[in-house]
Amino acid sequence: MRNAEILVVGLGGMGSAALYHLARRGVAALGIEQFQIGHALGSSHGFSRIYRNFYNDALYVELAEAALPLWQELEALSAQKLLHLTGLLYFARPGNENIEQRMGVMQALNRPYERLTAQEVTARFPALRLPAGSVSCLTPQAGFLDAGQCVLEQLKQAARLGATIHDHVRVDSVDLSQDAPVVETSAGQYRCERLIISPGPWASEILEELSLPLRVTRQQKFYFRPKNPAPYQPGELPVYGDSDTRFYGFPNYGPGLKVADDGLGAQYAPSEVDRTLDMCKRDELREWLETIMPGGGFSYVEGSTCMYTSTPDRDFLLGPHPRNPNVIVGAGFSGHGFKFSTLVGKILADLAADGTTGYPVERFRLDRFENAQA
């Protein structure tokens, strides 16, 4: 039997942030992870995740902006750069409603953005050659986070501040019948006063009693190396996204330029995801990359899979368990959650330690789908 004031289950993006923010508060917190720390089997690994405030929803704009100073504080504690504010360029054919709605929200909130023509994009970023007539929006308060390093840094700082971390501990069941939750694991029993559950794609399995309508999909990302890296470096090239195809990419960082498809892939149980890469998707993404950056001479380097865990409305699940207020859940981040993870960790820590938070999370309550299911 192990005892903790607050126990955190799952130490990916959200759980590592929760443990870090609990430790900053001086809470005696303990975190457990089913795999090795920093593993590549979930949703928070790799070299890059987009940081942006370009949303068609004012709430997410405000939450993304609230996360920014928390990332900057973490980076100040780190020995390396975690956040690259390269700007974000979204583009589409004329009449694309998604990009127009997002620009409308930016205008309504008086946030900085630039509407650019294809010619203006090339003048600003010579590597890019967008189709004539394209509508583009450049937002300056955007870029990318080194995701894997962010997770490791949060855990490093949490441990420095007194948190305990146990990896290779698989959760078998959670007993919520008493006020003090009990977690049965492969390493024995953990008892705690309050419990934070942030298990990524494994949320439906650990929280089976809630019948959460979560869909886990297999996503792929591929890296390509340009013949001449100089025009593709962070600072010379922004993060970029195609609102028509839902393809997106990053500057040259880590193994190369990462490109991916934001459309939902095939559905899997999290422990059964096919890790074999789809070379047809690789070729489709390379063709797209060569279309918008002709002359790059891109050679394939490597690829990998990860998972999206999506809710029907693509909003998060964030708040107390409907049947036990001493259990706080963060799940269903729907493929766009990493940029918020340090803020989500702070919210999870607030809810576990204080029972409340100053951030607007009512919309993310766990029981919002109950009537629809009935």
Give me the amino acid identity at 155. L
**pLDDT recorded at residue 189:** 97
Residue 357 is encoded by which pair of tokens? 């938070």
Q: Is residue 373 scored above 60 in pLDDT?
A: no
Question: Is 36 in contact with 167 (CB distance < 8 Å)?
Answer: yes
Confidence grade of residue 296 (pLDDT, cut at 50, 70, 90): very high
Compute the average pLDDT of residues 152-174: 98
Residue 22: the pLDDT is 98
Average pLDDT over residues 169-197: 96
Give the CATH H-level superfamily of domain 88-140+215-310: D-Amino Acid Oxidase, subunit A, domain 2 (3.30.9.10)
Residue ranges covered by each domain of the chain:
1-84+144-212+311-373, 88-140+215-310
Q: Is pLDDT above 80 for 218? A: yes
- Region 1-84+144-212+311-373: CATH code: 3.50.50.60
Name 156's Cβ contacts closer than 8 Å, sequence gap at least 6: none
Is 347 in contact with 361 (CB distance < 8 Å)? yes
Give the C-alpha separation, 353 to 373, whole Å. Answer: 31
Mean pLDDT of 338-363: 98
pLDDT at 371 over 70: no
pLDDT of 372 = 57
Is 374 a residue whose pLDDT tops 50? no
Q: Which two tokens stand for residue 289?
A: 């990359």
- Please say whether the beta carbons of 46 and 147 come within 8 A: yes
Residue-averaged pLDDT of the chain: 96
pLDDT given at position 337? 97
pLDDT tens digits along 245-286: 999 999 999 999 999 999 999 999 999 999 999 999 999 999
Each residue of 345-356: pLDDT tens digit?
999 999 999 999
